[in-house]
């Protein structure tokens, strides 16, 4: 039973369903404080939905970069308990795997980061620069009082961050095969097209918004928004929900509501996408409005000191030549990228995240910790 595995088990026993933290961050802060980290607890949000956040820094006083480990202590709900083969908040071992809600997303990463920092600071107490932790209990929820608020807090006092590893589960087939060095942006829209309600037997007296909007929706679905670039796939546009009508079969609806989403690359901008949508809708002479929500802008970390250090640590520990990828959904990296020029995500295999019987391979836990420690050694060891 390694120190990392013990900490993973301890975190898994805490039912920290978002936005609850259930003492995870207090436990981590206690361990980090013993090493000389200065820990700040930064709760945000109303009392009925309080979000716990932790900012912890170890500063040796020697000039150098600030390297941040970022992650979340909250987990998604368990789903039907009867479908789990073991209690989701009781760490359970079967066939070389450790089961529990949050095992892959992302309590194993958090534990590995903490133990990696402990080992590195004990071995190199006079390291260059600073090691920091940014943890939140609001990543799996609305993400309004977590990392984004901590980043704003750090900005207000002039904190300078240089490199950040977010412990998201990025590996696909085996530990170390994929690093996320960026993420696409997310831009959602709720399109309302107005017509005139009427009886289906008298269509000449009505104006069916579904019929009117259909050609415009088909055109939007067929547009090649951009071609992507070296790091990003092309931008995509997808409808997620369509609603119209009163529920009666003999009524032409008076309004159509369409929910859609862009996952966009750095080859496009939010305003540019909005403008192109508007031109299509206007060309089809629709009476329309769109309510927009920008979930996050894309970020990208090209190959540099962080990507190189992490890639070499992966190769040294696993023998794999890792792949850089920007696929997948959004993460808190989108907030951190506003104040940190190098942000990547790296963690265990993501095949079971958010699923019943979520698990992580036991034999990947110690190598994950070693990869994080090797990355610190590369970036913060005195020359």
Q: What is the tens place of the pLDDT at every residue in 343-383? A: 999 999 999 999 999 999 999 999 999 999 999 999 999 98
Q: Which of 75, 276, 299 has its CA nearest to residue 169?
A: 75
Instruction: Assess contact for 175 and 348: CB atoms under 8 A.
Output: yes
**Lowest mean per-residue pLDDT among 13-17, 37-41, 227-231:** 227-231
* Res. 329 pLDDT band, cuts 50 70 90: confident
Q: Which of 109, 133, 110, 137 has its CA nearest to residue 121?
A: 133
Helix, strand, coil fractions of the chain, as percent rounded to 5: 35, 30, 40
Residues 309-329, mean pLDDT to the nearest whole number: 95
pLDDT, position 49: 86
Annotated binding site for Zn(2+): 72, 105, 140, 168, 354
Q: Which of 119, 90, 116 has its CA nearest to residue 103?
A: 90
**Lowest mean per-residue pLDDT among 23-27, 59-63, 252-256:** 59-63
Q: Residue 139 catalytic?
A: yes
* Res. 188 pLDDT band, cuts 50 70 90: very high
Which is catalytic among the residues 9, 74, 297, 358?
74
Dist CA 160 CA 180 (whole Å): 22
Instruction: Assess contact for 75 and 17: CB atoms under 8 A.
Output: yes
Q: Which domains does the chain have, with CATH numbers?
A: 3-183+298-380 (3.40.630.10), 185-296 (3.30.70.360)
- State the CB neighbour count (10 A cutoff) for residue 184: 28
Q: Residue 74 catalytic?
A: yes
Q: Is 68 left (phi over 0), alpha (psi -120 to 50) or beta?
A: beta
Which is catalytic among the residues 118, 139, 332, 345?
139
- CA angle 81/329/290 to nearest 5° reads 110
């Amino acid at each position: 039973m390694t120190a990392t595995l013990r900490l993973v088990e301890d975190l898994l026993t805490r039912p920290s369903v978002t936005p609850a933290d259930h003492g995870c961050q207090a436990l981590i802060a206690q361990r980090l404080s013993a090493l000389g980290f200065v820990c700040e607890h930064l709760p945000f949000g109303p009392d009925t939905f309080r979000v716990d956040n932790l900012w912890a820094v170890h500063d040796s006083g020697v000039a150098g970069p600030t390297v941040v480990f970022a992650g979340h202590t909250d987990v998604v709900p368990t789903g039907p308990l009867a479908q789990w083969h073991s209690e989701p908040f009781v760490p359970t071992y079967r066939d070389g795997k450790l089961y529990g809600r949050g095992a892959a997303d992302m309590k194993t990463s958090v534990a590995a980061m903490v133990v990696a920092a402990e080992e590195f600071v004990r071995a190199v107490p006079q390291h260059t620069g600073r090691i920091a932790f940014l943890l939140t209990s609001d990543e799996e929820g609305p993400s309004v009082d977590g990392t984004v608020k901590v980043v704003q807090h750090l900005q207000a006092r002039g904190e300078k961050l240089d490199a950040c590893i977010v412990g998201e589960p990025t590996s696909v087939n085996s530990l170390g095969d994929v690093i996320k060095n960026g993420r696409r942006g997310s831009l959602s829209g709720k399109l309302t097209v107005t017509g005139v309600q009427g009886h289906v037997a008298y269509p000449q007296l009505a104006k069916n918004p579904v019929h009117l909007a259909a050609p415009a929706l088909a055109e939007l679905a067929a547009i090649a928004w951009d071609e992507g670039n070296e790091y990003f796939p092309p931008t995509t546009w997808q409808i997620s929900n369509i609603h119209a009508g009163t529920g009666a079969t003999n009524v032409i609806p008076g309004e159509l509501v369409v929910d859609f989403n862009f996952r966009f690359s750095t080859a496009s901008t939010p305003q540019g996408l909005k403008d192109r949508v508007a031109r299509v809708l206007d060309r089809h002479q629709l009476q329309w409005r769109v309510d927009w929500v920008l979930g996050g802008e894309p970020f990208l970390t090209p190959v540099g000191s962080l990507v190189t250090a992490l890639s070499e640590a992966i190769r040294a520990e696993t023998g794999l030549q890792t792949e850089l990828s920007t696929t997948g959904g959004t993460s808190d990296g989108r907030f951190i990228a506003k104040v940190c020029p190098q942000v990547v995500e790296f963690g265990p295999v993501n095949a079971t995240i958010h699923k019943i019987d979520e698990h992580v391979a036991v034999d990947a836990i110690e190598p994950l910790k070693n990869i994080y420690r090797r990355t610190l050694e590369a970036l913060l060891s005195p020359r």
